[in-house]
Structure 1
Amino acid sequence: MGWKTLDDMDLAGKIVLTRVDINVPLEDGKVTDATRIERIVPTVTDILEAGGKVVLIAHFGRPKGKVDPEMSLQLLLPALEEAFGRKVAFAEDLEAAEGLDVPILLLENIRFLPGEEKNDPALAKTLAKLGDIYCNDAFSAAHRAHASTEALARELPACAGRLMQAELQALEAALGAPERPVVAVVGGAKVSTKLDLLGNLVEKVDRLVIGGGMANTFLAAQGINVGKSLCEHEMTEIAKQIMLKALDVGCEIILPADIVVAREFKAGAENETVPSTRCPDDAMILDAGPESVERVGYAFEHARTLIWNGPLGAFEIAPFNAATDAAALKAAELTEAGKLVSVAGGGDTVAALNASGAAEKFTYISTAGGAFLEWMEGKTLPGVAALEG
């Protein structure tokens, strides 16, 4: 890996401009989930303990280059101070930040400045004057070429923070140089949103499990009736191409062998399990069946590395969470036994794995959303590339 970490930098007496993602949910002016704030604590602590000072650079919401008091980072000061256990100073603009000599300084929402999303080199140079070292701890924003994620990294000696470091090491272990065999689980509603992902994965993994509404499109591509299920019939030709590509490169695609169907989409709906070739005309496929889960479990048992993005069924409503939960718990069990390296990410994925109780046993759970997906698609992330020089 061509990037440096905090361990490679002399931080004593230095001001470290630290790009973080603290884009947390707010209700009535109070943080309702401080996970993203808690995740930056190791980076801030390590800089302070090494004798450095921290200037936090972050965005909040989408103000589109204009000042919006409802998106002011000042609202997050109480949550930050609680997480760090110390006072955090605040600068409402870059001029106010100049010359402030404090252990931790939070700059106002960087997206209030129109140059941020334009990756303006002039803004990066202005920011660079505020510190000596640049540290990027916001992997979740690394897929954006913005002034504070890309241009600024080229103005100062640059490194990855602890969260960025953990994320990059986990993804490298999963896709860069993984222990084989590798199995990937890709679920979710639509094939069209994950074309690049599927195209990249069939060339990199040994087995590819396809679940959720996406699986219906692949079943339809094989001429199988999917009744009233969510299905992108216009994508069946592309699904066929992906299956042919998988055949060509020796990647086994695993589709549901049996399915759980219902006539209505609601919790506790009357349902039945049938072979995947026998979906009734008036029913919807809402989950994979037990035989499918067994096949997925077999794939996990014969793998060394697992990458997971997306649920296997309509996990939000019982009982159609059964396949996702069972597969997740199987992966967790193998991970805990030291037999599997398991890396997962994406909004629905994190929610599904948390709901199943399996998340804490996975090797790594990414909360980076879009950046995680783009990495899995094989795309270059500007914020990571900038750290590599």
Structure 2
Amino acid sequence: MKDIKTLEVSGKRVLVRVDYNVPLSEGQVTDDTRIRASLPTLRWLREKEARVILCSHLGRPKGQRVPEMSLRPVAERLAELLGTPVKFVEDCIGEAVEKEVQALQQGEVLLLENLRFHKGETKNDPEFAEALARLAEVYVNDAFSVSHRAHASVVGVPQRLKEKAAGFQLKREVDYLSRALESPERPLVAVAGGAKISGKIEVLNNLLSRVDKLLIGGAMANTFLASQGLSLGRSLVEETELETAREILLAARERGVKVYLPVDLVVAESQEEEGEEVPVNRVPESKAAYDIGEETVALFTRALSRAGTILWNGPLGLFEKPAFAKGTVAVARAIAAENALTLAGGGDTLAAIKAAGVTHAFSYLSTGGGAFLEFLAGKELPGLKALE
């Protein structure tokens, strides 16, 4: 995978795939984290006097033109952050777009309209990819978060352009994750949360061959506890994955990986009530688990102590509700306090870290949920392969 610094870009039209899938409210960007992440690449390209064309999706318009999902507000916010005008064009392919691209001067920036207003983007349609590729002489992927998708702007375009490379944001993300998985400081500890095992079986299996310890929380832990014969009342349990949970625990034992499951839970009759802490073997039939308890937080904190590398994906409870956020927030702070390489990924996980007030203390936060998980599962990401 080539580095952007190896490219000759002066005076050339450079198409950059960014991830500007940001939240909007009343035509304003409410969280510009993803826009800020692209700034180092854009500043470098402008310094090198490239003619910069940006493309991204926003939301899921499903091939329809949805005004509320226009990238125009993003162009306005980007202009403020870059400190320079950002041109905007109301489509991403076609004659009008080509005209705007040809008029671009060195160092200027143009943002194309939402790629997913065309069905050809998600289908990697050859004609759509060809039309996008025609706009540029050089391609840069700076959107790790979409690199697990074989879409036209991620795979189709780089297949058609000889000059291509990874932007600074994408390279940084791949470097951090590769370091954590391939040559980690030990012990390597993984923290897995979220609702279901079913979406993370490959991740868990791949991690078992690499980690020293595995901490499991969230509703996912219910299935592991139930697989050991515990009754968990009305808690979310994936009955179809009980055998999978047992197999994962057995594989961990065979590989010498220490698995930590909750020893107490915060339970309630509904999400709207205050919870009470009970041991995992005393969950009332009428109640469900919504968070890990204080003893589990203490157990997990001890397990994280003196880690060399920590990987985290998935909240450890229903953290959106203040009554059930304590476990996730406490573990986020425990990870942040460690003198280790700390990486976390996924929208919910990042929101939990923000709620805990420790965003600054993590070594790296991945904006790409799906791509982060597929990388952890050891899968080849189409967007990265297309840059080879």
Q: TM-score, structure 2 length as denominator?
A: 0.92
CA 1:177–1:122 in 2, change beyond 3 Å: closer, same or farther? Answer: farther
CA 1:314–1:133 in 2, change beyond 3 Å: closer, same or farther? Answer: same
Amino acid at match of 2:251: K
CA 1:294–1:70 in 2, change beyond 3 Å: closer, same or farther? Answer: closer
1:165-193 residue CA offsets vs partner (Å, 9 max, x unmatched): 22111211222332222111111122222
CA distance in 2, matches of 1:151, 1:281: 53
CA distance in 2, matches of 1:110, 1:261: 44
Equivalence for 1:223:
229
- Aligned partner of residue 286 in structure 1, secondary structure: strand
Unaligned runs of 5+ in 1: none
CA 1:279–1:69 in 2, change beyond 3 Å: closer, same or farther? Answer: closer
CA distance in 2, matches of 1:116, 1:286: 39
Match of 2:308 among 304, 307, 325: 304
CA distance in 2, matches of 1:68, 1:222: 49
Deviation of residue 265 (structure 1)? 2.2
Pairwise CA RMSD:
1.8
Amino acid at match of 1:109: N
Residue 176 (1) aligns with residue 194 (2): no
- Aligned partner of residue 193 in structure 1, secondary structure: coil
1:353-378 residue CA offsets vs partner (Å, 9 max, x unmatched): 11111222011111112111221222
Kept in 1: contact 2:266–2:275 (CA 8 A): no
1:110-145 residue CA offsets vs partner (Å, 9 max, x unmatched): 223333222233433333332221110111111111
Match of 2:325 among 302, 318, 321: 321
Residue 240 (1) aligns with residue 246 (2): yes
Equivalence for 1:147:
152
Equivalence for 2:14:
16
Equivalence for 2:103:
100
- Aligned partner of residue 153 in structure 1, secondary structure: helix
Kept in 2: contact 1:286–1:313 (CA 8 A): yes
CA distance in 2, matches of 1:322, 1:75: 36
Kept in 2: contact 1:128–1:156 (CA 8 A): no
Deviation of residue 270 (structure 1)? 4.7
Kept in 2: contact 1:68–1:112 (CA 8 A): yes
- How many equivalent pairs are there? 380
Amino acid at match of 2:181: L
Deviation of residue 341 (structure 1)? 0.6
Equivalence for 2:376:
376
CA distance in 1, matches of 2:191, 2:173: 19
- Aligned partner of residue 178 in structure 1, secondary structure: coil
CA distance in 2, matches of 1:13, 1:275: 66
- Aligned partner of residue 15 in structure 2, secondary structure: strand
- Aligned partner of residue 199 in structure 2, secondary structure: helix
1:248-288 residue CA offsets vs partner (Å, 9 max, x unmatched): 22222110122233333225x151x3322222333322222
Worse overlay, 9-18 or 113-122: 113-122
CA distance in 1, matches of 2:186, 2:197: 26
CA distance in 2, matches of 1:274, 1:351: 27
Kept in 1: contact 2:315–2:352 (CA 8 A): yes
Unaligned runs of 5+ in 2: none
CA 1:101–1:299 in 2, change beyond 3 Å: closer, same or farther? Answer: same
Equivalence for 2:219:
213
CA 1:245–1:87 in 2, change beyond 3 Å: closer, same or farther? Answer: same
Amino acid at match of 1:367: T
CA distance in 1, matches of 2:133, 2:352: 40
1:28-80 residue CA offsets vs partner (Å, 9 max, x unmatched): 22222222222211111111012212111112222333433333323432222
Kept in 1: contact 2:154–2:383 (CA 8 A): yes
- Aligned partner of residue 306 in structure 1, secondary structure: strand
- Which 4+ runs in 1 deviate beyond 4 A? none
Percent of residue pairs identical: 47
Amino acid at match of 1:293: V
CA 1:118–1:318 in 2, change beyond 3 Å: closer, same or farther? Answer: closer
Amino acid at match of 2:343: V
- Aligned partner of residue 188 in structure 1, secondary structure: coil
CA distance in 1, matches of 2:187, 2:12: 45
CA distance in 1, matches of 2:335, 2:69: 39
- Aligned partner of residue 308 in structure 1, secondary structure: strand
Amino acid at match of 1:214: M
CA distance in 2, matches of 1:129, 1:146: 16
CA distance in 2, matches of 1:244, 1:43: 45
Kept in 1: contact 2:275–2:324 (CA 8 A): no
Amino acid at match of 1:100: A
- Aligned partner of residue 228 in structure 1, secondary structure: coil
Worse overlay, 120-129 or 181-190: 120-129
Residue 63 (1) aligns with residue 61 (2): yes
Match of 1:109 among 96, 114, 131: 114
Kept in 1: contact 2:222–2:237 (CA 8 A): yes
CA 1:49–1:108 in 2, change beyond 3 Å: closer, same or farther? Answer: same
Kept in 1: contact 2:275–2:323 (CA 8 A): no
